[in-house]
Each structure stands twice: as C-alpha cells, then as structure tokens.
Structure 1
Amino acid sequence: MSDLPPGFYLHLGLHRTGTGAFQQFLAANLEQLEEAGLTPAFSNRDGAGTETLRLRLPPPRHFGTDEMKRHGRQLARTLRRHGLNRRPAVLISEENLIGALNAVIAKAPYAAAGPRLDFLRQHLAAPVRRVVLVLRSYEAQAISVYRKRLEFRALQPFEHYAREIWPATRGWPELVADLRRALDPDEIVLFTHEDRPSRSAILRALCPELPEAGWDESAAPVNASAGDAACFALLEAHGAGRKLSPDEVAAIIRDHAGAAAPRPLIDLPDAVLEAQRDRYRADLQRLADMPGVTLRRPG
C-alpha cells in the first residue's frame, strides 16, 4: 500500500499522444495498482483492450440549457455506479474530457475544455491532486488527428483546414490555464510527445508515491496513424459511399502499409509548418514559466 493522498489523479491526453497505449499499460498493471491503493478508471477508445470507465461530458451546445440537468444526472449515475467518489485515490485516464477528437482541428482547439472540466469537478467528492497532459507540436497533432478522422468519413484536403485554423487564437498555454481554473489541482505535469515519455514515467508523474520499478510495459503500441497510401484508399472508399467497419478500416491500413501514395497527402509549404513548430516551442517556454505547472523534459 502506497502513501497516496486521497483524491483524483487525471491523465487527460492530448489526442494522438499515446493515450491508448497508456490505458493498455494501466490494464496490464491493474492488480498492482489496486494493491497500491489506487483505483484506475480508464476508457478504451481504441477498442484494443480492457475498459473500466466511460465518462461523457456535455457538448458545448448544451451549456446554459436545460440539457445540463440531464447531463448532471447521467454523470452522477456513472460516478456512483463505479464507486469513484467512495474510493480514496482514483486515477482517471480519458482524453475526451477536454473535448472530442473533432475539437482539435479548430482555430481555438479544445475551446470548451474549461466548462467541461468545471462541470466534472462539481461532481467529484475529493480534490484533484494532479493532472498530466502529453503535449504535441501543433502541426503534428492536427495532421495526426486528420489522418484518424479519415478512418470515419471523407474530408476536405488538409490544406483546406490549415487555412481555417492557422494562425490560431488559442494554444496549449490557454488550455492549461483552463485546466488550472476548472480543476484547481495541486500540480499540472506536462510531457511532450516528441520526447516519448515511458508509460511508467507518466504514471509516476501522476502518482510519485508509487514504486519506480516493477511495472509491466510490454503492451504493444496501439492506434498508429494511417500512412498516405492508406489515407487515399480510405478517401476512395468513403467517396464510393461505403460504410466501413473498424475491421475494414484496419484491413485497409494494414494492406497499404509501406505502399507508395500517388502524391503526398499533406501538401503545405515548409514555412507554414515551421511557423507552427516555432509557436509550439515558444508556448512550451510560456508553460514552463507558469506557476503550478511542471514541464518535464529529458536531461
């Protein structure tokens, strides 16, 4: 049994930063985590393994309407069914708490994160101790999300969305400020996807009282982005009116792995992409200077 302070420990993504792999890691170490006095509660959006919780928060259009009463009852029911307000220490891993995948490719990504998390916090019976986010460079995350969304529907070329979302009015410092206001955690810990933090490093950033060693990290990575050739094949299937099942999507991605695409899927000037990388680097420095925020970098 560890000396974890009672409360909630939240891993909130971002999307396309290895959330599914971290949740597989939690599933592989479920017994050990529970023996340490921590209750892991996580979704399985990738459909690749165990799931212990599925939280649904209100969409932006419902805030300020009578629909919020229904959402409140639904959330209270979910928390009660899983006993989360009765457990001393609870780790929740769910990237959709800050917004769905569709909230990423926007001029103001995750614009409703603040109200959504404030709504969640109102239903938690214990304080939020620590929040972990894995950040990713703006252009890399948007492109990865675009590739993922192509699995579900036909989209315009990425260049169309790039013209709409950049220059952006909101970035990761604004998102983190929203999290801090809504959740009032003891600490927010940030990693960068580019540094490839280990799953045990993310776990111990959330709960440093847990042991350093002895964790099973053998689970295979999940939910890799489709390559260019697979994305074009998905576009062709959607354009023909096909409704693809998850197995059919996986087969298309598998069959086109390593295949040459007829042209690049993303065709943007290097200067456009580099501007987003520069913004990301500057924003990481802003985040490192924020009180109550710890940016973990190697070295």
Structure 2
Amino acid sequence: MDVVLHIGAHRTATTTFQAYLAENRVALARKGITVWGPKQTRDGLLTGVIPVDSPRPPQEQLDRARARVAINIARERRAGAKVLVISDENMIGAPRRCLRQGRLYSDIGQRMARFAHALDGQVTRAYLSIRSHESFWASVLSYGVARGHRVPDTATLEALAASPRLWRDVVLDVACALPGVKLTVMPYEIFGGLPERMLEHMTGLGPMPRAHAREWMNQAPNLPQLRRIVKDRGGAPAGLPEGPGKWQPFDDTALRDMREAYADDLYWLRAGAEGLAQLTEETGPVKTGTTPRPDQRKRGQDDGIENRRLA
C-alpha cells in the first residue's frame, strides 16, 4: 500500500480537494483508495505529533501518536487499500503564523520531521501545492481580516512583499524533513480547480471521478464582504478600497517584485530543484503504473538532502 501525503499549502484549494475526496469516498474505495482528511487527522489520530499542553512530555506524545498511526495504517493495509491519501494542510503550520512572522512556513521542516517520525518511514510520496506570492498573501490577508485580524498597514505589506523566504526555501525544508520520499510540487494556477487531476497524479490509478470536481470551497471573501465584516465588528474599513472584486492589497511595485520571485521559484523547480523535488504542470490523464516509485527518484536527491543538512 502506498502512503501519500498531501500537505497543502493553505489557500491553494486544499479544502476543495478534501471536499472532493470526501464526496467521492465510496467511488474511490472501489479503486482501492482510502482517504484520511481533516475529519480523521484532527479527531485525535495525529494528536501529539506536534506537542500539545499535556502532562505527558513531547517525546512521549510523539511516541504514542506513532503507535496510533501504525495501528490505523495496518488496518487500512489489511482491508486491501492500494493507496492511502493523507490530506491536511495544517501539518505544515497555520497561515496566521505566516502572517505574524511575515514568512512562508518558517518551521515547516521541524514539523514535517515529526510527522515523518510518526508515520515511521511508510510515506512513499508527498505533494505540495504552491501559489504566486502576491496571490497567496492577498488570499491569506483577506481570510485573516475576515477572521478578526486588523487590516494591514503599508509597512506590513512592504515587509511581506520583500520577504526573503520563497517557495524554494519551503521545498528545501520539506525535502530535508522527508528523505527518501518523492516530493512533487503542483502549482495552484494549474491544479487549483482540478482536484480529479491532482488525485490522478497522486495515485497513478488512472482517471478519477468527475463528480463534485467543480465545487469551489472556502473562497476568500471579496471586497464588499470584507468591508461589511470589518464594519460589523465595529472597525473602520480603512485600507480596503471601494468597489467589487477581490482585494489586492499590494501596489504595482510589490506586485512586480512578487511575481518575479515566483517566476524564480518556478524556474528553479523546472531546472530540477537540485534533485530534491519534481514540478508537475501536466494536467492530462495519468496512466496506471506511471507514478515513479521512491527508488526511481532523480539521481542526487540523497546528496542534496545531506548537503542541506550540513549547511
């Protein structure tokens, strides 16, 4: 049984993908695909992988989580599953933490190393979705303001636009935390509205169900909604422009710089990502058996991870 991790990132249609998996659970089971989405992972299954406030020390929490996960994976294997897909973007952290730090998932390496330990080397493939920086941060900010964060000032926006941490750094941290696991990067701009194509790439089991594949979930609020939300909680919608549509808080200079940064990310990925990850931009059907095994990863992956650790 292959164990596949889908780890986000946030605001890249992860909720849409998870809703698609949940709605098609029966059809997927007939193909030998079992899914652990947030309903499973956040209901005690992974508790303790990231330490919580508890009388038990962190290492004991992690060890208990590891045993719990092993029991459940063994049960899925005995039931005859071919692929277990584990999808939970909160494994890599929270977008509100990204906002507070002004950086992309600064502790993703430590977090994923703990999940790798809890999964006891059973993960065969991992998938990370990325999104253009200006689009990602605009969506995170919109969602954050709707959930109670203040409207960001100019200094905050300038700091986000100039953040030195790019998706390349996120990919390097994940690859270092998951040695021996085939890491694939899927751009939101291509796969955000194609959950069935994402699943085809993840499983290698051919065409997936189209039912519920175009139901868009958890969209960021638009400008009229944001102005109303801020006004309803007693604030002044300063910093939120008038008019309809999505909120784009960054000015033209920031937009240019952030788009160039994303282009650099994609260029690095297309060039091979130092053998640590593979960029997937092809949306065509995936034939059974075409998903490479972990032992077929690109030459140099182990050396690249070791160099990253030494650095």
TM-score scaled by length of structure 1: 0.77
Distance 1:90 1:262 in 2: 42
1:157-202 alpha-carbon deviations (Å, 9 max, x no partner) = 2534222333212111111111111122442222211124511111
8 A contact 1:99–1:110 mirrored in 2: yes
Match of 2:198 in 1: 202
Aligned counterparts of 2:116 and 2:245: Cα–Cα separation in 1: 47
> Contact conserved, 2:108 with 2:173, CA < 8 A, in 1?
yes
Q: Structure 1, unaligned stretches of length 5 or more?
A: 1-5, 44-50, 241-259
Q: Secondary structure at the match of 2:3?
A: strand
Alignment partner, residue 250 of structure 1 = none
C-alpha separation between the residues in 1 aligned to 2:245 and 2:103? 30
Query: Which of 282, 286, 289 is equivalent to 2:264?
Result: 282
Q: Structure 1's 211 and 292: CA in aligned 2 closer, same or farther, altered over 3 A?
A: same
1:118-137 equivalences in 2 (<5 Å): 118-137=113-132
Alpha-carbon separation, structure 2, partners of 1:136 and 1:267: 16
Residue type at the aligned position of 1:11: H
Report the equivalent of 2:136. 141
Aligned ranges for residues 24-103 of structure 1 at < 5 Å?
24-43=19-38, 51-54=39-42, 55-56=46-47, 57-58=49-50, 67-69=57-59, 71-72=61-62, 75-76=65-66, 79=69, 83-88=72-77, 89-103=83-97
* Cα distance in 1 for residues equivalent to 2:245 and 2:9: 29
Local SS of the residue matching 1:16: coil
Q: For residue 217 of structure 2, what is the aligned residue in structure 1?
A: 222
Q: Which moved more, 1:217-226 or 1:169-178?
A: 217-226
1:22-63 CA distances to partner (integer Å, 9 max, x unpaired)? 0111112212322333321001xxxxxxx333145527x99x
- Residue 113 of structure 1 deviates from its aligned partner by 0.6
The runs of 5 or more residues in structure 2 that have no matched partner are 78-82, 236-241, 284-311
**1:25–1:217: 8 Å Cα contact kept in structure 2?**
yes
Is the CA contact 1:154–1:239 (under 8 Å) kept in the aligned structure 2? Answer: no
Question: Matched residue of 1:188: which SS?
Answer: strand
How far did residue 156 of structure 1 move?
A: 3.4
Tell me, yes or no, if the aligned pair for 1:229 and 1:261 is still in contact at 8 Å: yes
Q: SS at the partner of 1:224?
A: coil
Amino acid corresponding to residue 104 of structure 1 in structure 2: C
| Distance in 2, Cα, partners of 1:230 & 1:141 | 19
1:179-227 deviation line (CA, Å, top 9, x unaligned)? 111122442222211124511111121111x122444244621111111
TM-score (norm 2): 0.75
Q: Report the CA distance shift for 1:285/1:158 in structure 2 as closer, same or farther (over 3 A).
A: farther
**Alignment check: 8 A CA contact 1:159 1:267 kept:** no
Q: 1:222 to 1:185 in 2, by over 3 A?
A: farther
Secondary structure at 2:110 match in 1 = helix
Q: Within the alignment, does 1:104 sit opposite 2:98 as a pair?
A: yes
CA contact (8 A) 1:131 1:188 kept: yes
Identity of aligned residues (%): 23
CA RMSD, Structure 1 to Structure 2 (Å): 3.0
CA distance in 2, matches of 1:264, 1:85: 45
Distance 1:228 1:211, change over 3 A: same
Deviation readout 1:207-266 (Å, 9 max, x if unpaired): 11x1224442446211111111211221222336xxxxxxxxxxxxxxxxxxx6499954
